[in-house]
């Protein structure tokens, strides 16, 4: 049986922390689906298609990875993909409460699908898409937080 895990998120933009989790998850599962959320209450800097394209480009060299977009309820999408698990990243204790609620809701909606949590490598533990966007918007150097293609896309969004 092929073991499939879904790593959902807005990835606005994808960071080196996200990439770290993807690489580690591909060592544990046959297939990792990085699923870019199209329906989110978050206000995105990048369009849905731009986020999918950036993720596809920066992760193109990783075997066992599929990048796709999805809309609607994550639990339904995971069932459609025959996933056995959902991957979520925990950077700090402050992430835990929200992720715990989300995991319990997903368990209620799709009890056959587990939620798994990974922490990023310590050099990425403080990085968030929101912080990266803030630093970029203020003209700061973001090259140590994101792939060069993402840095370029952010520079295009926030010209000096």
Q: Show which residues are catalytic.
A: 18, 42, 91, 129
* Bridge partner residues of 65 (DSSP): 32
- 33-70 CB burial, b ≥16 within 10 A, e <16: bbbbbbeeeeebbbebebbbbbbbebbeebeebebebb
In what helix (H) or strand (E) does residue 156 lie, and over which residues does it extend? helix 148-157
């Amino acid at each position: 049986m092929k073991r499939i895990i879904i790593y959902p998120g807005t990835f606005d933009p994808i960071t080196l922390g996200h990439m770290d989790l993807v690489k580690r998850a591909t060592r544990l599962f046959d297939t990792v689906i990085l699923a870019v959320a199209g329906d989110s209450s978050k206000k995105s800097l990048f369009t849905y298609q731009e986020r999918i394209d950036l993720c596809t480009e920066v992760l193109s060299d990783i075997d066992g990875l599929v990048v796709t977009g999805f809309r609607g309820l994550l639990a339904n999408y995971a069932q459609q993909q025959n996933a056995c698990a959902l991957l979520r990243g925990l950077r700090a204790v402050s992430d835990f409460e929200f992720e715990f609620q989300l995991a319990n809701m997903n368990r209620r909606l799709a009890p056959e699908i587990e939620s798994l949590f990974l922490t990023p490598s310590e050099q990425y533990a403080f990085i968030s898409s929101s912080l990266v966007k803030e630093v970029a918007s203020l003209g700061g150097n973001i090259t140590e937080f994101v792939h060069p293609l993402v840095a370029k896309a952010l520079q295009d969004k926030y010209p000096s």
